[in-house]
Structure 1
Amino acid sequence: MSTTDTFAQPRTEREFADRIGVIAAAARARAEQTERDRRVPDTTVAELRDAGFFKLVQPQAFGGHERDFDELVRHILTLSAACPSTGWTCGLFAAHQWLLAGFDRRAQHDVWDDDPDARMCGSYAPSGVARLDGDGYRISGAWSFASGSDTATWAVCASFLPTPEGVRGAPAFFLVPATDYTLQDDWHVAGLSGTGSKTLVLDDVFVPAHRLLPLSDAMAGTTPGAALNSHNPGFGIPMLCHIPSCLAAVAVGAAAGALDDFQHLAGTRQTRGALAGAGSRIAGFATVQLRVAEAAASVDSAKDLLLRDLRRRVETVRAGHEISVEERILSRRGQAFAVSLAVRAVEAVNGATGGQGLALANPIQRAWRDVSAVSRHISLNWDAVGTMTGQAALGLSPQGQY
């Protein structure tokens, strides 16, 4: 039975959360298969589509719910506690509806008029080669780490704009349909295996100029779409205040799921080794109790940090104020530090699972690998983001992405 048969369209956040909870339970049952297949099952994608998840932050003008990003992140936390690869991939599908809303209105029509349920993967690091061609550009090259590429119908690929003088210009996002690229099946990894983050290969693909978005506009929140959707200042929030929060939520949700699984394990399991005292309840060991407390405090703190910063940014723009560079860096700090807390949490519980925790079917070890993979993402690396934050706090020029 599909979710559309089970639920009416949600009217409140609580109703929507209940709906996502049902889908998350199904995604959890498919998590091991998702990892083996290296992609989120079509069934899960269809269930989330039917639930309206991908339309959560899409403009109402194109059939979206136009909700705030903190609500989206809460649902990503729920999905990621069940299956981190599902939370990562489908969270990006939803977040990219908001990103597309920043493009020229003609680009939005190009995508949503033909397919109101279009899904976009993306590769943000500038790559490939772009050259001028009449009223557009031709781009060629390879774009790595395009999560959800197996089921995406469009892609956002970043490249440097050419100039008439032949000098490399500023970076920009190019919007291309899936029919214009091929996939290089190179996603064989130890963490977030189910995200299908393969490489997109483009060969002399024409992109009309209206399907281009300067990266500087996306970073500052001064996009064409922000002006078009001026009734909702949330569309003018700088990209890096929002998108990395969805990725950080995967690590935090995965850590929360691992903690729940470990608490169930510790509450029922007894030791078998003579050195530890055969027949003793795992929950009775003080070291285990401390690990649970540390993991719980880390997860709670990370959730609060992520959601607080999202709410503060939207409160700023709704009050009619521009989000400052300082606030943008604070969002980046919160995202990366939330991931570091998730790493701390999942390390605490995974280290206490014993030999049984080595099984590939054990969700705790999968969460441990997936959280480690999230922490390696350049936008969430604490060493890089923390250094940038410290530079700003000390009055130096911050070096990094914000």
Structure 2
Amino acid sequence: MAYTQQEIEFIRQHSLDMDKNRRFPKAVLDFIYDRRLFHLFVPNQLDGRMTELPEAARQFQACSRIDGNLGWAVTIGAGGGFFAALLEHDVSQQIFARREAVIAGSGMPTGTAKRVEGGYIVSGSWKYCSGSSYATTFTANAVIEAAETSTESDCTVSASVEKEIRAFAFHPEQIRIHPDWNAFGLRATASHTIAADEVFVPEHRTFMFDKTMGFENEPIYRYPFLPFAQVSFAAVAIGIAEHFLEAAEALAVERGGGTYVMDKLKKHSDFLRDFTTTFYKSVEASWRELLLQGGISASTEAEITAASIGAAKTALTCGQALFPLLGLAAAMEDSEVNRCWRDLQTACSHSLLRSYS
């Protein structure tokens, strides 16, 4: 789906307010809902618009080029569609089959859960849950408390050495949101901490990441989750960098367009374009392998990881190399190029995009 100049301007007219107020206005959320952008990985049977990964990545890139907050929100929200295959069909129907359906949550197992009749009692807190202010379902991982067993002879207590981790799907009223997302970029994404206190979750609203419950014919659910996430986040970084270069060029021209700065802009624009082409070649090759083989090899996974981290590093370098050349006008928080630079730094801080080599 390509976006018209009118649509781009519609979103960008809200960008400054989103950054300052740290939230999405209803008009922007409606833009997402109307285009079902949170449903890119939801099966069509659940009112989704199932999309192949290479095309979805281009969607994330296009949204991020319009506005970094938009791109990040769409990417995270769409990623929750993965859980449709892990939940019982009736539960997936309840969670996903509505216009405003979107999941916010965390993959970190920073909660605990105790087995009780019919389900679990869950407590914990989970950081960086993007979309928390408008989520219709929350998901989070928790460690299952080991069942204690005793013998009549010595009353010794034993516990399983291996920790079982299970994911839980909470109703919004079961979750408290701590509004602590005070990052200097991607300010509108509501990536707050969420918490649950002794909440009952029935068995049918829990799931395991290695156990598919339905929609086995959808290829996206066979794509390994780690490289899937890296591809998605790399596409966001590319899109934000494209917007940054666009805004940097406009500012440079406004300031007189010195040869040195314009040459640097062209150089980094060319770098980003070339690496983006390489990135998508890898993504498309991995998708073809998935369709032909039913999965992707370890070597392909490694290639996707390298391509994603490389793309993000190239995108980040655009900001690091050019921002210091743009003068005090770029240092103003309400300038377009400043917002892009902050969003780019924040997106590329994600652990899945970092490389220490």
**Same fold, TM-score > 0.5, yes or no:** yes
Question: Amino acid of the residue matched to residue 350 of structure 2?
Answer: H
> For structure 1, which segment, 315-324 or 142-151, has the greater mean C-alpha deviation from structure 2 after superposition?
315-324
* Corresponding residue number in structure 2 for 1:131: 114
Native 8 Å contact 1:136 1:208 kept in 2: yes
Whole-angstrom distance in 1 between the partners of 2:168 and 2:230: 19
Segment drifting more, 140-149 vs 372-381: 372-381
Cα shift at 1:22: 4.4
Determine the structure 2 residue equivalent to 1:103. 87
Q: Contact 1:258/1:367 (CA < 8 Å) preserved in 2? A: yes
**Aligned partner of residue 194 in structure 1, secondary structure:** helix
Partner of residue 3, structure 2: 18
Partner of 1:353: 326
Q: Give, in whole Å, the separation in 2 of the partners of 1:354 and 1:103.
A: 52
1:39-73 Cα distance to aligned partner (Å, 9 max, x none): 22221111111122222221011122211122222
Measured against aligned partners, the alpha-carbon deviations of 1:46-105 in whole angstroms (never above 9, x if no partner) come to: 111112222222101112221112222212212212221111012211221233333332
Q: Provide the residue aligned with 1:52 in structure 2.
A: 36
Query: Residues 51 and 127 of structure 1: is their aligned pair in 2 closer, same or farther, counting only changes over 3 Å?
Result: same
Of residues 237, 254, 259, the one that matches 2:223 is 237
Contact in 2 for aligned 1:122/1:147 (Cα 8 Å) = yes
Distance in 1 (alpha carbons) for counterparts of 2:197 and 2:185: 30
CA contact (8 A) 2:141 2:168 kept: yes
Following TM superposition, by how much is the alpha carbon of 1:337 offset from its aligned partner in structure 2, in angstroms?
1.8
Partner of 1:118: 101
- Counterparts of 2:298 and 2:191 in 1: how far apart (Å)? 31
Aligned to 1:89: 73
Computed over aligned residues only, the root mean square deviation of the Cα atoms, in angstroms, reads 2.1
Q: Give the one of 178, 197, 204 matched to 2:198.
A: 204
1:174 to 159, 163, 168: 168
Q: Give the counterpart of 1:150 among 127, 133, 136.
A: 133
What whole-Å deviation, never above 9, does each CA across 1:113-166 have from its counterpart, x for those lacking one? 5x3531111211110211111232221011110011001111121222333344
- What is the distance in 1 between the residues matched to 2:6 and 2:235? 19
- SS at structure 2 position matched to 1:126: strand
Higher RCO (CA < 8 A, seq sep 6+): 2
Partner in structure 2 of residue 224 of structure 1: 212
Equivalent in the alignment of 1:324: 297
Provide the identity percentage. Answer: 22
Q: CA deviation at 1:307?
A: 2.5
Question: Which AA in structure 2 matches 1:308?
Answer: K
Aligned residue for 2:2, secondary structure, equals helix
Task: In structure 2, list runs of 5 or more residues that go unmatched.
Answer: 149-158
Match of 2:151 in 1: none
C-alpha separation between the residues in 2 aligned to 1:237 and 1:324?
A: 10
Aligned counterpart for 2:254 among listed residues 239, 261, 268:
268
Q: Contact 1:302 / 1:339 at 8 angstroms: preserved in 2?
A: no
Q: Aligned AA for 2:264?
A: R
The TM-score with structure 2 as length reference comes to 0.90
Q: C-alpha displacement at 1:362, in angstroms?
A: 1.3
Task: Tell me what 2:245 maps to.
Answer: 259
Structure 2 CA distance for partners of 1:108 and 1:374, relative to 1, 3 Å: same
Alpha-carbon separation, structure 2, partners of 1:245 and 1:372? 17
Gaps of 5+ in 1: 1-15, 218-222, 271-281, 387-402
Letter in 2 for 1:327: T
Letter in 1 for 2:107: Y
Deviation at 1:184, TM superposition (A): 0.5
